[in-house]
Amino acid sequence: MQTQVTYPRVQTVRPQPGKKLLVTFATGETRIYDCQPLLREEAFRPLADEALFQRVRPDRHGYGVIWSEAIDLAESELWINGKRV
């Protein structure tokens, strides 16, 4: 029987220089997530536009962060690949 892994929900997100995100989770832990590698992927290329990148916000239920209807990242991605601050 597999146990389902759950990740902490996103509480706040702040864009940082160098296409990084400062993400605070419901646990109080903060991580820095580097979005630069995502820009190589078609779906994330619009984030090269700094005005769009700056509009990042948490999903209203905390299940990730959102820039637009088409661009988002899950809380699991941010948690697993973010670096602890």
Q: What pLDDT does residue 75 have? A: 98
Higher pLDDT, 66 or 3: 66
Instruction: State the Cα angle at 42 between 39 and 43, rounded to 5°.
Output: 90
Q: Cβ distance 50 to 42 under 8 Å?
A: no
**What are the domain boundaries of the chain?**
10-84
The token duo for 14 is: 């702040």
Q: What pLDDT does residue 53 have? A: 98
Residue 7 has pLDDT above 90, yes or no: yes
Residue 27 has pLDDT above 80, yes or no: yes
Contacts of 77 (CB under 8 A, 6+ apart): 33, 64
Q: What pLDDT does residue 4 have? A: 82
Categorize the per-residue pLDDT at 45 as very low, low, confident or very high, splitting at 50, 70 and 90. Answer: very high
Distance (Å, whole) CA 76 – CA 60? 16
Fold of 10-84: NE0471 N-terminal domain-like (3.30.2020)
Q: What pLDDT does residue 5 have? A: 86
Distance (Å, whole) CA 58 – CA 23? 9
